[in-house]
Amino acid sequence: MVFLKKFPMADIKTKYSDLYLEERKGLLWPTEFVVRALLGKNYEFGDSSKANTALDLGFGDGRNLELLTSLYPSVYGLEISEAICQKASARFPDVKFLTGYSHDIASADSSFDLVLAAHSIYYCDFSRIEENFEEVNRVLSKSGRFVFSILKRDSYLVANSKLLEDDYVRVLGDPLGVRNGSLLKYYTFEEDLIALLTRSGFGNISVGSSENDWWGIKEFCWIVSCNKV
């Protein structure tokens, strides 16, 4: 597509490196939907008791890594710059870190029993969303689980930004200023999301909805658990 122009790689790496290399005080807590997806007793997501290896795809500030290391014997984290990975390795010496993108994961086929993408899979500066889903499917083991979030049409990152064809958006009003210029994917209807996941090799698809209004910052997203088939 004509609109799918690559955001300068150096720029996006610099912006995110600067963000995550800032000194932060206090503890970081896991994302709520991740806690519910991995520990919730009231949901039927299938048996994951034999899962051993997990990948946090786009781990950011690392807030979900401690939870993952408490549940899985082997945990990997992926981010877009070596600097982010190096800083995280000081906090999480038992985690193995990879540099890459959602569409380009430096791991062999069927490497992971769980892939978690909390607020990350919908970044499409270098790929389309189909490529991101297909790459996750590639690195998942047979029946491996994929847990992720993806933007809704009413998300604060979509509002006041430039809407493009095929439900992509060029971000213009990021409160942090980091994502301005980035290309993100959103979904208005969950049935469209389910259809793409099915075509990408996933089944047992459970879609939830999270609509948090953080004093005007509308973090609205679909939250999904599915398995490789």
Distance CA 17, CA 85 (A): 10
What are the Cα distances from residue 110, in Å, to 51, 70, 71? Answer: 12, 22, 19
Distance CA 123, CA 178 (A): 13
Query: For the segment 198-223, what is each residue's pLDDT rounded down to a tens digit?
Result: 999 999 999 999 999 999 999 999 99
Burial class (CB in 10 A: 0-12, 13-18, 19+), 218: middle
State the pLDDT at residue 54: 98
Distance CA 60, CA 66 (A): 13
Distance CA 208, CA 180 (A): 27
Helix (H) or strand (E) holding 183: strand 183-187
> Domain map of the chain by residue range?
9-21+51-155+189-210+223-228
Query: For the segment 17-31, what is each residue's pLDDT rounded down to a tens digit?
Result: 777 777 666 788 999
Could you tell me which CATH number the domain at 9-21+51-155+189-210+223-228 has? 3.40.50.150
- Banded model confidence at residue 1, pLDDT cuts 50, 70, 90: very low
Choice among 94-108, 123-137, 169-183 with the minimum mean pLDDT: 169-183
Which token pair is 54? 């997990």
pTM: 0.93
